[in-house]
Structure 1
C-alpha cells in the first residue's frame, strides 16, 4: 500500500478502535484492547526510527521508547486490576507510565535543537515565558491540591509526579513550537498527540481524589490517552515523518502579532489567577503568584532587550547597506559625500593637501558586450578588491556609478597621488586599463567643484587615448582672471 495512504487507514482505524473501546463493557478484554492500541503506536514509532537515520531517527526512537513505557504501564495496570486484584494506583505501573515523559521530552528537545535557526535567542525566551506562565495554573489547580491528604508517602509521590512530569513535557513542547521550522503534517500530528496526552493527564490527576472515572458507565476519560497513541502512530507513518528537522524557508521565527498576543495572555495569567481567587473567595496563592510574576518580569525585560538588540542590529545592517555599493562592497556616493566633507575639514585644519581622482575602466561597454554582463560585474568587483588592497590607511575608494570610481587621497599632493594611481593601474585585473582625472583641492572650492574638475580631466584622459592620468587645471579664480583652465596631460 502507498505510504501516503497507510497513515490515513491507520488513523481512521485507530479512531474507530477508540470509539469501539468506549463502548466495550468493563473487563479484562476492554483493558487488553486498550493496551493493543498503545502497542500499535509503539510499533509505528519504532518502525519510523528503523527506516530513518540521524537525529530524526533518534527522535522517533526516543518517542517510541516513551510510548513503550506507557504501554508497559497499561499491561501492568491490566495485571494488577484484573489478575492480581489489587489497586493499580499507586503501583510499579506508575513508574512505567512516568518513563514516557523523559523519553518524549528528550525527543522534543533534540528536535528543537536541530530545528533552531541562527539568532533564535528570542524563541528561547518566548518558550521560557510561556512555560513559566503555564506552570502557575498547573501549580494552583493540580499540584498544590495534591500536596497532603494521601494515605502513604508513595501515593503522595506518585500523585505529584504526574503533574510535575507534565510540566517538563509541556516545557519541551513549548520549546519545540517556539523555535520555528517547517510545520509538516507529521509535526502537527505529534503536537496534537502531545496535547491530547496532556489533556488526559489533567483529567487523570483531577480524578485521583476519587471522583468517578466513567460517565454513564462509559470510560470517556480514557479517550485522550488512546487518541494520543493513535495520532502518534499516524505521525510516524506519515510520509513527512523524516522531515521533522527541515528548516522553515522563513529562517528565524518572526515576532508576529499572534505571538505577542499569546505572550500577553500568558503574562496575565499570574494577576488573573490572583483575581480569580479573590472573586471566588478561595485561599490566595500569594507566594506562587509572587514568584511567577517576578520570573515573568525578568523574562519579559530580557525579551525586550533581545528585541531592542535585534532592532539595533537591523538598523546597523540597513545603514551599512545604504552606505555600501552592493556589487563591489565599496562605499557608495552617499558615503563618499560624507567622507569628503570630513576630509575637507581635516585638510583645512591641519593644512595638508587633499587630492581626488575619478577612475573609469577603459572600453568597459565593449568588455560587457563581448564577455557578458556577469563577466562585467566580476571585473568591477575584482578591480575594487585589487585596488583596495593597494591603498594606504587613509585613502578611500568609492564607487561613483557604472564603471567609474572616486579615489580620495588625504595628505597626498599631485605627485604622490599619481604614484598611487600608477600602482592601481598595475593591479587592475583581466589585463584591463583605466583612465583617471586627478584634481588637487585648492582649499576653497566646494566638493562638487572638485569632482567637476576631476571629471573634466577624466574626459581629457579619454580624449587623449585612454590608459592615462590627466591632472586637472587649477580652478578659475572668483575674480574671473584669464587663467588657462585646460587640463594638462601626464601619461603614466
Structure 2
C-alpha cells in the first residue's frame, strides 16, 4: 500500500475505533482499547522511523519513543486499576506518562532548529511571548485542581504535569512562530500536541470521569494517538527536516494580530476571573504581565533596530551605483554643493574632470555586455585605489565618470588623471575634460565646460586630457 493511501486508511480506521470506544461502557474494555490504540500508533511510527535515513529518522524516533512511554503508561494504569486493585496515582505509570513531555518537546525543538536560522532573534521572542501568554490562562484554569494530595510525592507528580505541558507549549509555539513550512505532516503533529494539552486540562477539571456520558477525559489522548500515526504515515513526513533555515521572520499583519491576542490574554484572564467570581491569581497574572511587557518591548526594540538598518541600507542604495559601487549622480550633486561651499569659504581651488572610456561601445559589441560591465567595475575599483583620498569619483552615466578634485589646481589635477590612466584595466584608455571652478558659475555650468573639453579630447584623437576654456567670468582663484 503506497503512502498516500496508507495514511487515509489509518485515519479512517482510527475514526471508526473512536466511535467504538465512545460506545463502550466505562471500565476495563475501554481502557484496554486505549492501550491497543497506543500500541498500533507505536507500530505505525516505528515503521515510519525505520524508513527514514540520517537526520530525518531522529525526530520520528523521538516521537515514537514518546508514544511508547504513553502506551506503556496506559498499560500500567490498567494493571494497577483492574488487576492489582490499587490506586494508579501516584505510580510508575505517571513516570512513563511524564517521560513523553520532554521527548516530544525535544523533537519539536529539533524541527524548529533545522527550519529556523539560529540568528533569528525575533522569532525566538515571538515564541516566548506565545508561551508566556498561553501558559497564564492554562495555569489559572488548572491550578485549582492541583494540591490536596496526601503525600509530597503525589504533590510533586501532580505539579510535574503542568510543567510538562509548558514544555509542550514552548515546542508548539516554536513550530507555529518560527517555521512557515506547513506540510500536512507538520500540521498533524501540531494537532496531536494540541490534543495532548487539551486532554491534560480536561483530565484535571473532570471531577468524576465515570459519570460522564462520553469519555471526554480520554478522547483527546486517543485523538493524539490518531494524529501521531497519521503524520508518520503521510508522504510529507519525509520532508520534515529536508528544508534548510528559513529567512528572518517578517512582521506580517497576521503575526502581529496573533501576538496582540496572546498578550491580551493576561488582562483578559483577570477580567474573566472577576466576571466569574473566581480567585484572580494576582501573583501569576502580575508575573506573566511583567514578563510579557519585557518581551514585547524587546521585540519592538528589535523591530526599530531592523527598520533603522533597512533605512540605512536603502539610503546607501539610493546614493550608490549598483554596478561599480561608486557614488551615483545624486550623491555627486550633493557633494558638489558641499565642495562649492567649502571652496568659497576657504578661497580654495576646485577642479572637476569628466572621464569617458574610449570606444566603449566597440568593446561591448566585441566582448559582450558582461565584459563591458566588468570593465566598468574594474576601472572604478582601480581608479578608486589610485586616488586614495585625493578626490571623489562618481559614475555619471553609461561609461562616463566624474572626478571631483578639491584643493588642487589644473596642473595637479592633470597629474592625478595621468595616474588613473596608468591603472585603467584591459589596456583601455579614456578621454577627460578638465575644468576649474571660477567661484561664480553654477555646478551645471562647470559640468558643461568639462563636457565641452571632453568632446574636444575625443575629437583630438582620444586617450588624452583637455583643459576647458576659462570661464568668461573673472575668477578670484588662479588656476
**Cα distance, 1:337–1:52 mapped onto 2, change above 3 Å:** farther
5+ residue gaps in structure 2?
none
Say if 2:135 and 2:169, in contact at 8 Å, map to a contact too. no
Provide the C-alpha distance between the structure 1 equivalents of 2:308 and 2:12, rounded to a whole number of angstroms.
51
Between 170-179 and 438-447, the greater mean CA deviation after superposition: 438-447
Offset at residue 6 of structure 1 (A): 2.4
Is 2:242 the partner of 1:243? no
The equivalent of 2:103 in structure 1 is 103
Structure 2 Cα separation of the partners of residues 456 and 363 of structure 1: 18
Alpha-carbon contact 1:66-1:99 (below 8 Å) kept: yes
Aligned partners of 1:398 and 1:214: how far apart in 2? Answer: 84
Deviation at 1:112, TM superposition (A): 1.4
With normalisation by structure 2, the TM-score equals 0.92
TM-score normalised over the length of structure 1 = 0.90
In 2, are the aligned partners of 1:55 and 1:110 still within 8 Å (CA)? Answer: no
Contact kept, 8 Å, 1:116 with 1:181, in 2: the verdict is no
Partner residue, 2:348: 352
1:205-245 C-alpha deviation (Å, 9 max, x unpaired):
222xx3224632x4343221112112112212222223234
Provide the secondary structure at the position in 2 that maps to 1:439.
Answer: strand
- Cα distance change on mapping 1:275 and 1:114 into 2, 3 Å: same
Q: 1:211 aligned to 208, 212, 228, which one? A: 208
Instruction: Give, in whole Å, the separation in 2 of the partners of 1:90 and 1:295.
Output: 33
> Secondary structure of the residue that 1:221 maps to in structure 2?
coil
CA distance in 1, matches of 2:472, 2:354: 20
Unaligned segments of structure 1, at least 5 residues: 480-492
Query: What is the CA–CA distance in structure 2 between the aligned matches of 1:213 and 1:248, rounded to whole Å?
Result: 48
Which shows bigger deviation, 117-126 or 431-440? 117-126
Task: Flag the 1:205–1:224 CA change in 2: closer, same or farther, 3 A.
Answer: same
Residue number in structure 1 paired with 2:445: 449
Alignment CA distance shift 1:40-1:361 (3 Å)? farther
Q: Would you say 1:338 and 2:334 are equivalent positions?
A: yes
The 1:343–1:49 alpha-carbon spacing in structure 2 relative to 1, beyond 3 Å, is farther
1:169 Cα deviation after fit: 0.8
Kept after mapping to 1: 8 A contact 2:376/2:399 = yes
Distance 1:161 1:249, change over 3 A: closer
What is the RMSD computed on CA atoms of the aligned residues?
Answer: 2.3
* Alpha-carbon contact 1:162-1:205 (below 8 Å) kept: no
Asked if residue 120 in structure 1 is aligned to residue 116 in structure 2, the reply is no
Q: Distance in 1 between matches of 2:306 and 2:223?
A: 41
CA distance in 2, matches of 1:85, 1:168: 33
Q: Which is worse superposed, 387-396 or 64-73?
A: 387-396
Equivalent residue, structure 1, for 2:315 = 319
CA deviation map 1:35-91 (0-9, x unaligned): 232233333334444443454432222222222211221221222223222222221
CA distance in 1, matches of 2:348, 2:428: 33
Q: Among residues 434, 437, 441, which one is paired with 1:438 in the alignment?
A: 434
